[in-house]
């Protein structure tokens, strides 16, 4: 018997939620993140800590804020851990000392992390949306693989997008060398092609300590809003590994994309569920205080909602830092 048309959106929604839940609870042990699949997986509440970065100030505008000219947004301020003579120390070094002190305080069930969050460089899907306009893109063109001129299924970077990533590479080298910004202890990336390209171009071959070298981990839950738009349908595990052989891919990562659906576009609420699962996993199993996330506009917007940060729209190739406190739930 054919299914009533009115039930199709509900069926699609249920399928997406079931797949996300199954992934969250049954993902296998990862060498870098511990036992992600345990049914005793810890749950946290997340809180953005204001007063440290300019991007978190209400008046900040992601469309015009120039993070390369402002030390990635780190505010010039004092910290409780400052001592006499620290005025000659770089702002990032003083901030790192403060973050370390919070971790060393050993507050039960509380963790602090600084996330260097980056949006991928311009992709061919971004060019196509500009070409056709958002309304026509969402209603028609986004559901196709291309238009005969542009191809955007699991979209790759344009030349401009590659240059954005290279500009960030040069900026990061200056930040680490001159401003003493702490390098990430771990690098996470979405499995979509444009993010893998961006992360590799931004972080490869930087002059970093031996224990902070770029070795990214692909995380399924970091991907863009899922469904309908072919630019957000990922390639197979085999293709990803073949194109980026040096990246680590988390265990439990399926060969084919089992989450993307042509009939349903993920809602904010659905996206936020998997963003919380991602943050739960990272905060529970990664001991590093400074981390790199390379993802998407929708994924970053979801993360800002989950941690209570004000809206901040990153342009393609944009970067921003987030200072996050995670408190383990009592239940």
- Residues with catalytic roles: 120, 224
Q: Please name every residue paired with 186 in a beta bridge, in sequence order, or none if there are none.
A: 291
Rounded distance, CA 279 to CA 277, Å?
A: 6
Nearest Cα to Cα of residue 277 among 234, 206, 219, 215: 219
Residue 157 to residues 116, 125, 151, 166, 330: CA-CA distances in angstroms?
Answer: 21, 9, 11, 12, 44
Residue pair 93/180 in contact (Cβ under 8 Å)? The answer is yes
Helix (H, G, I), strand (E, B), or coil: what is residue 97? helix
Token pair, residue 210, equals 């031996």
Rounded distance, CA 34 to CA 25, Å?
A: 13
Residue pair 151/141 in contact (Cβ under 8 Å)? The answer is no
Burial 68-97 (b: 16+ CB within 10 A, else e): eeebbbbbeeebeeeeeeeeeeebbebbbb
Residue pair 235/154 in contact (Cβ under 8 Å)? The answer is yes
Residue pair 186/213 in contact (Cβ under 8 Å)? The answer is no
Locate tokens 């919380």: which residue? Answer: 276
Locate tokens 């342009």: which residue? Answer: 315
Burial class of residue 150 in the structure, from the number of CB atoms within 10 Å of its CB (0-12 exposed, 13-18 middle, 19+ buried): middle
């Amino acid at each position: 018997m054919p299914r009533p048309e009115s039930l199709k959106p509900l069926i699609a929604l249920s399928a997406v939620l079931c797949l996300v839940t199954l992934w969250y609870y049954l993902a296998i042990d990862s060498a870098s993140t511990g036992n992600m699949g345990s049914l005793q997986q810890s749950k946290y509440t997340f809180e953005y800590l204001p007063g440290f970065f300019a991007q978190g100030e209400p008046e900040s505008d992601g469309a015009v804020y120039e993070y390369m000219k402002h030390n990635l947004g780190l505010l010039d301020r004092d910290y409780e851990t400052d001592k006499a003579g620290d005025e000659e120390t770089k702002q990032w070094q003083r901030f790192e000392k403060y973050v370390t002190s919070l971790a060393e305080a050993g507050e039960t069930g509380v963790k602090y992390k600084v996330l260097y969050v980056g949006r991928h460089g311009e992709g061919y899907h971004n060019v196509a949306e500009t070409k056709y306009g958002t309304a026509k893109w969402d209603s028609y063109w986004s559901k196709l693989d291309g238009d005969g001129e542009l191809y955007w299924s699991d979209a790759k970077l344009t030349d401009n997008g590659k240059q954005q990533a290279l500009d960030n590479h040069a900026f990061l080298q200056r930040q680490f060398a001159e401003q003493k910004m702490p390098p990430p202890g771990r690098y996470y990336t979405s499995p979509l092609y444009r993010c893998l390209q961006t992360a590799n171009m931004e972080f490869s071959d930087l002059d970093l300590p031996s224990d902070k070298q770029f070795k990214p981990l692909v995380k399924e839950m970091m991907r863009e809003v899922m469904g309908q738009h072919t630019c957000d349908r990922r390639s197979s595990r085999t293709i990803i590994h073949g194109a980026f052989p040096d990246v680590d891919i988390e265990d439990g990562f399926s060969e084919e994309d089992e989450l993307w659906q042509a009939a349903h576009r993920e809602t904010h609420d659905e996206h936020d569920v998997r963003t919380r699962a991602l943050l739960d996993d990272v905060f529970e199993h990664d001991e590093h205080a400074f981390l790199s996330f390379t993802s998407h506009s929708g994924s970053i917007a979801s993360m800002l909602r989950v941690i209570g940060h004000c809206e901040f729209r990153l342009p393609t190739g944009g970067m921003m830092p987030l200072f996050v406190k995670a408190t383990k739930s009592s239940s």
